[in-house]
Each structure stands twice: as structure tokens, then as C-alpha cells.
Amino acid sequence: MTDKTDVVIIGAGPVGLFAVFELGLLNIKCHLVDNLDKVGGQCAELYPEKPIYDIPSRPVVTGQELTDELIKQINPFKPKFHLNQQVEKIAKTEYGWIVETNIGTKVEAKCIVVAAGAGSFVPRKPPIENIENFENKNVFYAIRDKSIFKNKKILIAGGGDSALDWTNELSKDSNVTLIHRRKEFRAAPDSVSKMQELETKGKIKFLKGQIKKISKIQDSRIMLEYENDDEKSNIEVDYLLPFFGLKMELGPIAEWGLNLHENLIKVDTEKFQTSTPSIFAIGDINWYPGKLKLILSGFHESALMAQEVFKYCFPDKKNIFRYTTSSKELQKKLGV
């Protein structure tokens, strides 16, 4: 089934969210797609607790607070979110564009707004030679079906929430070893104490070190070589689950034929349109002379982009510029 809307926004970070507001004031409906399992982009994923000091009228706001307030602000416009998926393909249609994600969601829209920040968040893969040959067989960066690990020997690598949570969870039915470069963990204190309790009871093992090599051995098992203070050791397991957080990469956007400037999308500074008409780019992903990667620049870009998108969505209508402070019509849309 294909959904139909006015605009698909790629990226649900602060700028993508605010674009819903600016477009909403002009009666333009939006769907948003994001590869994370939550909205807020870098603000929510990288620095939810860290303070931001340069949002106008907010002397200090954390990444998460900013996200929460933006969600509240755009709520009247009822945007539809497609999370945990990445836009893979776009194709021109008579209506506008059809956007397809890696899990098969299809949305048709008049315009596309790329608000993808520094790109999509993807798992950070350890730089172990040939590891790609074992991916999705012995090595998994995310767990979709935990039943495959039942009664198997597993090595989990990392010291954050994912590593600790899966160590605790999988220890119920599997033989789990956790490997980390030090005995301190950045995961939530609750998960850490649970893991330590399991270790004391002998339900899991802990190794200090960093994995350096992977090789295949019989019965579809793998051998991992790890190092701790220059001392090398080996461990044989069925599965390796590395959890080293996420990194950002441009991904499929690079293949859509948009003119780029060093991995950023070139736009004009009147409409923030890309080299392809009806595809726009706002926020950290775009480039124009003088560009500053600031959230507030992205907010400004949203407002100007919306003026042009209006013409694609309502070619026969006149767009009258109004203020939310005084316009009864805009206030009605906002439900105030």
C-alpha cells in the first residue's frame, strides 16, 4: 500500500521537525522518515542531556528538551512518522515523487525535503579485517530475532547500554561472555549492577580487552583474537555481537543525482531547493556560500523552503503571508 501526502521529510531531527510547523501553517501535510527508533536526530541520540545555549529565547535547553518542545509545537499538524527505516529509493511520478524505505514503506508526495543532518545513524563497525564476511551469519550489530542465540555461545563487545542490556537478557538462555576494554561501563548503573551480579553467580563471563582478529573454524563457529595490554588471547564462539554505538553516514542520498559539495547538498538561498526541482534540503545536510551548521539556520531555511513548496502543492492558490500572533486562521490551525 502506498500512502499519499504533500511532503516527505527525510530526517526527524530538530530541523525536520520544525519544517512540519512551517509547512503546516501553509496547510501542507507531512510524513517524516528516520533511521533511528526515535525522533530528535542528533539532539536525542548523541546529546540528549547536553545543554544548547544558542537557541533564540532559550538561554539553555538540552537536546531532549528541545526535541520534546518541538514535538509539542508541531502536534497540531499531526505529522506521520516512519521510524527505524531509511529512505532507499526515490522515483519521479506524475503526482510528484514516490519514496521507498529499506523495509518497504512507500509514500507518494509532491515534494521531498531532505533534513538529514550529518546523515543516517548506522552501527559503528569494529575495524577487524574480513569482519564483513561474517556479518549476518556470525556477527550481528542489531538483534531482530533473539531466538537464534538460544543455547549458543556468544561474545558481546562494548560497554554501553546495548552491550549490557543484551548481556543480561541473553544470559537467560545462552552462554554469554562480555568483552570491554576496561571494567567500567557507561551503561545505566542498574544494568551494570545486574551484569556484575550475573558475573559473581557465574552466569556470564567478563573479559578485559579489545577484539583484533576474526577467523572461521569448523561447525560454523568463529575464533576471535583479543588483546589486553599487548597480551593476546583467543576465544571461540558461535556469535559475536559488537555494540559500539552509532555513526552517521550520508547513505543512499548520495545516489539520487543531486549536486553535491563535499558530501553536502547544494541549494539556493532563496528557496533551499536542490539541483532537482521539488527536492529541497535544509539544516546541516545542505551547503551554500556562508552556510553555518546551526539549528537556528535550519529553522530559517525551513520557513523559506515552505514558501516554495506551497507553489508545488497548491499551484492555483495565492499564498498570503500572515503572522501567528494576529491571524485567526493560523491560530485555528494551531488549535489556540
Q: Which residues bind other proteins (CB under 8 A)?
A: 42, 46-47, 50, 118, 124, 126-127, 158-160, 180-182, 184-186, 210, 244-245, 247-248, 293
| In the complex, minimum distance from the CB of residue 6 to other proteins, in angstroms, rounded to a whole number | 32
Name the residue nearer to other proteins (CB basis): 24 or 159: 159
Cell, residue 179: 568483552
The burial class, CB within 10 Å (0-12 / 13-18 / 19+), for 25 is buried
Q: At what angle do helices 161-170 and 189-200 cross, to 10 degrees?
A: 40
Name the residue nearer to other proteins (CB basis): 210 or 331: 210
| Distance, CA of 43 to CA of 123 (rounded, Å) | 17
| In the complex, minimum distance from the CB of residue 327 to other proteins, in angstroms, rounded to a whole number | 37
Name the residue nearer to other proteins (CB basis): 160 or 252: 160
The burial class, CB within 10 Å (0-12 / 13-18 / 19+), for 296 is middle
| In the complex, minimum distance from the CB of residue 326 to other proteins, in angstroms, rounded to a whole number | 38
Residues composing the chain: 336
End-to-end CA distance of the chain: 35
Name the residue nearer to other proteins (CB basis): 150 or 247: 247
H-helix or E-strand spanning residue 298: helix 295-313
Cell, residue 186: 557507561
Name the residue nearer to other proteins (CB basis): 96 or 158: 158
| Extended strands (E) in 173-298 | 175-180, 204-208, 210-216, 222-228, 231-237, 239-242, 246-249, 260-261, 264-266, 279-281, 286-287
Q: Which long-range contacts (CB under 8 A, 24 or more apart) does 223-228 make?
A: 224/155, 226/179
| In the complex, minimum distance from the CB of residue 247 to other proteins, in angstroms, rounded to a whole number | 7
| In the complex, minimum distance from the CB of residue 124 to other proteins, in angstroms, rounded to a whole number | 6
| In the complex, minimum distance from the CB of residue 125 to other proteins, in angstroms, rounded to a whole number | 9
Name the residue nearer to other proteins (CB basis): 107 or 187: 187
